[in-house]
A = this chain, B = another copy of it.
């Protein structure tokens, strides 16, 4: 059941999450071998209809729910709640990202679920935690970007404020939750004890931005004052496109100036502090020279000089980039609903082996019958649940 690429083989997850933060977290667990039973409302997870795709399944949904099984349950009905509790009985992880208070009103709060199964890891995502003026506010990635500094750092020194244009906080939350749940499962192996894990998106956003993004808001009285690294994240135009390059070491700086200006430059500039203070003039000359060179030529020269550089690829160029192809990162497969689908494999290799993410995202309620049979329902009971509108 468990092997190197399925370290979480044997783990069962009862997954009530929707949208991206929760589903991406449980997809990480599914990729690593967990059996994730996705419990959807009768209308399905809302992201089934967000963005392009097919009727009933968007690409967005497929990208966050691969390898899961789906059962659609009306949780407002007592018989629906009973199904969840019977699934909890044999489960290792329970995950939910309703607004605070909702899961308790459904009769599936941590007290109830952890009493039914004390070994379970009960994982919750909230927008803003359980206290404070925003505890009950609707949370989306966008608004948490505004509150956590993500928008400020994107906008510093620009005329028009901007954001990270994808759900960076949902995804950072997903990964922090997946790691914490896995740590709790590790501990359970030693102690037999379940755990309750709570992650707020606001906390996850701040923890994710802080290490570098908040470096100038960490120390009250710095003795050494240098520009923040955020300034180094800029795109450089070439004659026919754009490149990104970066020089963090003296050797890289010397390589850049030698390769582009045919000039080793001021030796003092090889010192990081000197360069961060006085490098702007030289960089202006470098950028002027690059603006009249072709992207190919810039990349070739700078790679030869061991300067970190890359052309800016368009979204449709990523999967077919020669390095991405060499890494066999993006896989193509046929999906029963969506037809030809392209998705990246999970990044971690285990003992040198890649996880192949082929198992497809489910249709709404696709696995209802098999999941119900596993918890002991016979066909007449399943038919009755369906006739009563308890399952979809």
Contact = CB atoms under 8 A, between A and B. Distances in A.
Given A151-B235, A329-B202, A340-B219, A323 B62 contact: no
A117 interface: no
Q: What 8 A-B pairs are tightest by C-beta distance, nearest first?
A: A132-B326, A180-B348, A175-B175, A59-B218, A7-B187, A220-B340, A146-B244, A189-B189
Given A147-B321, A166-B230, A344-B210, A171 B172 contact: yes
Interface stretch (A77-85, A153-161, A284-292, A377-385): A153-161
A203 B344 contact: yes
Contacts of A141: 233
B203 A132 contact: no
Interface stretch (A262-270, A303-311, A368-376): A303-311
Given A142-B245, A151-B313, A166-B233, 15 more contacts: A8-B187, A53-B218, A63-B215, A132-B322, A138-B307, A144-B310, A147-B313, A151-B242, A166-B209, A167-B211, A177-B348, A185-B186, A197-B349, A218-B342, A220-B340
Given A145-B244, A218-B63, A207 B347 contact: yes
Contact of A189 (B32, B186, B213, B311): B186
Interface residues of A, number: 165
15 contacts: A8-B183, A28-B179, A32-B183, A51-B229, A58-B226, A133-B322, A148-B318, A154-B162, A156-B165, A166-B209, A178-B179, A182-B183, A200-B327, A203-B329, A221-B340
Contact of A55 (B55, B223, B243): B223
A249 interface: yes
Given A49-B272, A339-B219, A168 B168 contact: yes
A282 interface: no
A258 interface: no
A219 B338 contact: yes
A98 interface: no
A206 B141 CA distance: 19
A330 interface: yes
A217 interface: yes
B199 A343 contact: no
